[in-house]
């Protein structure tokens, strides 16, 4: 085979060498009949390619062919690397390729439903352009999602989905002249130990076992109305609203500490900026020795490590996202702030916001509390715990000292919830009473309750929404931006 180079690796060190690259055509520009330019793009890196009939490098026909190719077409180019005197505008690579051969691989439609350059512009930029009289078509969110494979090609989206991957996995990378080289084989875990581990590797390093629970289940796992019902060979069933019941049963099965990264289904009625009908859940469940704060300790260490790692390892991606959607880096403390629900209610009260001390906080109030916490404690990431029992699911453990409260918590980024967690009821009689009281059909969760009749350790855990973490870490305004192919109450394609 021929030797391929990546666009991002074409640099001065290859001066005068012949290289072979594959990429998409970002722009073409003919200059008369004898010269043409095109910018080739691969994984967000761009390279200017020069076609010239001088020195018999290419024919006039090739110049014509290359400069008339439609944007976003895939081509292979063989050429010689040269270093121009002046800096190159409009390309990431500061060298040029003198084209010798060009092959068309896949032709894109001459007119695309989305102009990617326009789709990549920030709101501020677009406003300026419109005021300056520029003709441009604003790409709205629905259009973007309808043609998601094109929308995904913008630098901000390239950044978003690399960050999403990094939230789940510590992707070991090295940098070569600004180019990220990803190693698919994870080096020894020992080398990865330390502050920069994220979800999967972090939990593995703390003794959690990765599991996969069924997504077709008999009873609803979170209760309520947001369940997709289906027919399971003639029996009623649902799509799992969370791995809740089965991750707890894994603990009853002596797995000690477990985690799962998997799909979660919610038949949401509300069409909001933060609800999807299918999202990726990062779930953990563990035995507890003394107190539910052990679970919050894990959350604390995990997320501080995750944020550190994202800031350290995803600088390029964060920069690309910030260019289109400007945002301030997340403020977080080395040791995550914990407030009790009562303290939160008190802070709100002092700020003139009255809430039911035993009720739930609505989105607006949560945001308000986020602002108050930021002012007082200088952090945008914190844990609110000891929620009123009445607003938590049936499997939540009541507080030992006061059953109006519970051993539970929510975690917030920039005033919005990303996690809920709790100690669970491991006493079968109490579990039945709680479920019954909330009108849950006991028959449908019988085997779950039975699981606690064979001896079950105290335990607790938490569930994180992956799309929400990325959305809020980057201060994006809509969860659809961080879902590859979002599913919401109105959308099931593409
Ligand atoms: O708060 P939820 O519903 O909690 C549970 O599922 C529990 N079983 C977790 C536990 O272990 N106690 O969901 C957990 C997280 C939320 O904090 C939120 O980040 C995300 O999942 N989430 C959603 N994300 C996108 N779209 C939706 N419709 C979501 N519903 C919840």
CA of 222 to the centre of ligand 1 (A): 10
Q: pLDDT-derived band of residue 180, with 50, 70 and 90 as boundaries? A: low
Q: In whole angstroms, give the CA distance from residue 408 to residue 338.
A: 12
Band of residue 315 on the pLDDT scale cut at 50, 70, 90: confident
Whether omega for the bond prior to residue 13 falls within 30 degrees of 0, making it cis, is: no
Catalytic residue among 42, 278, 285, 417: 417
d(CA 265, CA 243): 10
Q: Give the pLDDT mean for 34-38.
A: 97
Strand partners, 381: 413
Q: Is the CB of residue 413 less than 8 Å from the CB of residue 473? A: yes
Give dist(CA 53, CA 63) in Å, integer: 8
Q: What is the DSSP code (8-state) at residue 111? A: S
Quick: pLDDT tens for 331-361: 999 999 999 999 999 999 999 999 999 999 9
d(CA 158, CA 317): 7
Distance 334 CA to ligand 1 centre (A): 25
Q: State the closest ligand 1 atom to the C-alpha of 247, by its place in the atom list counted from 1.
A: 11
State the complex-level ipTM. Answer: 0.98
Q: Name all residues whose Cβ lies below 6 A of ligand 1.
A: 222, 242, 244, 266, 268, 275-276, 279, 281, 283, 417-422, 461-465, 467-468, 479
**338 an active-site residue?**
no
pLDDT, tens only, 393-448: 999 999 999 999 999 999 999 999 999 999 999 999 999 999 999 888 898 899 99
Q: How far is the CA of 161 from the centre of ligand 1 (A)?
A: 20
Q: pLDDT tens for residues 464-492? A: 999 999 999 999 999 999 999 999 999 99
Cα separation, 326 vs 316, in Å, equals 14
Query: Comparing C-alpha atoms, which of 139, 144, 143 is closest to residue 123?
Result: 139
Q: Is 13 tagged catalytic?
A: no
Better-scored residue on pLDDT, 243 or 195: 243
Rounded CA-CA distance 241/215 in Å is 8
Residue 172's pLDDT band (cuts 50, 70, 90):
low
What pLDDT is stored for residue 486 in this prediction? 97
Mutate which of 208, 222, 420 for ligand 1? The one with the most ligand atoms within 8 Å of its CB, which is 420
Q: What is the pLDDT of residue 206?
A: 86
Q: Which of the four pLDDT bands, split at 50, 70 and 90, describes residue 148?
A: very high
CB atoms within 10 A of CB 314: 23
């Amino acid at each position: 085979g021929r030797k391929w180079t990546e666009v991002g690796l074409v640099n001065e060190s290859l001066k005068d060498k012949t290289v072979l690259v594959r990429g998409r055509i970002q722009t073409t520009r003919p200059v008369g009949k004898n010269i043409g330019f095109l910018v080739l793009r691969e994984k967000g890196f761009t390279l200017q390619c020069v076609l010239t009939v001088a020195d018999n490098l290419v024919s006039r026909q090739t110049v014509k062919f290359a400069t008339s190719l439609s944007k976003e077409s895939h081509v292979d180019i063989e050429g010689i690397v040269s270093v121009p005197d002046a800096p190159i505008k409009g390309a990431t690579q500061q060298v040029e390729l003198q084209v010798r051969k060009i092959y068309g691989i896949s032709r894109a439609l001459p007119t695309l439903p989305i102009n990617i350059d326009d789709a990549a512009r920030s709101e501020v930029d677009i406003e300026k352009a419109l005021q300056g009289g520029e003709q441009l078509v604003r790409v709205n969110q629905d259009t973007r999602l309808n043609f998601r494979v094109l929308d995904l090609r913008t630098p901000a989206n390239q950044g978003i989905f690399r960050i999403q991957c990094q939230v789940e996995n510590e992707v070991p990378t090295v940098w070569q002249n600004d180019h990220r080289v990803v190693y698919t084989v994870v080096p020894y875990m020992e080398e990865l130990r330390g502050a920069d581990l994220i979800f999967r590797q972090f939990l593995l390093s703390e003794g959690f076992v990765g599991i996969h629970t069924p997504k077709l289940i008999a009873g609803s796992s979170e209760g309520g109305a947001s369940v997709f019902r289906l027919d399971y060979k003639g029996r009623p069933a649902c799509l799992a609203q969370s791995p809740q019941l089965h991750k707890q049963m894994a603990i009853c099965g002596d797995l000690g500490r477990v985690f799962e990264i998997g799909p979660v289904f919610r038949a949401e009625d509300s069409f909001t900026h933060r609800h999807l009908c299918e999202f990726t859940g990062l779930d953990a469940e563990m035995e507890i020795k003394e107190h539910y704060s052990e679970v919050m300790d894990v959350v604390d260490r995990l997320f501080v490590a995750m944020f550190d790692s994202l800031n350290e390892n995803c600088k390029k991606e964060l920069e690309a996202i910030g260019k289109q959607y400007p945002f301030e880096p997340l403020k977080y403390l080395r040791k995550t702030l914990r407030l009790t629900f009562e303290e939160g209610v008190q802070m709100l009260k002092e700020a003139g916001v009255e809430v039911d001390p035993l009720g739930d906080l609505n989105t607006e109030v949560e945001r308000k509390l986020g602002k108050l916490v930021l002012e007082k404690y200088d952090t945008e990431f914190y844990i609110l715990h000891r929620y009123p029992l009445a607003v938590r699911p049936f499997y939540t453990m009541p507080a030992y000292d006061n059953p109006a409260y519970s051993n539970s918590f929510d975690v917030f980024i920039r005033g919005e919830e990303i996690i809920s967690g709790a100690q669970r009821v491991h006493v079968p009689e109490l579990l039945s009473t709680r479920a019954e009281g909330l009108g849950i059909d006991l028959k449908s969760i019988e085997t779950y309750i039975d699981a606690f009749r064979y001896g079950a350790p105290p335990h607790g855990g938490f569930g994180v929404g992956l799309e929400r973490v990325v959305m809020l870490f980057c201060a994006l305004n809509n969860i659809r931006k961080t879902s590859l192919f979002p599913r919401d109450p109105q959308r099931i394609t593409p």
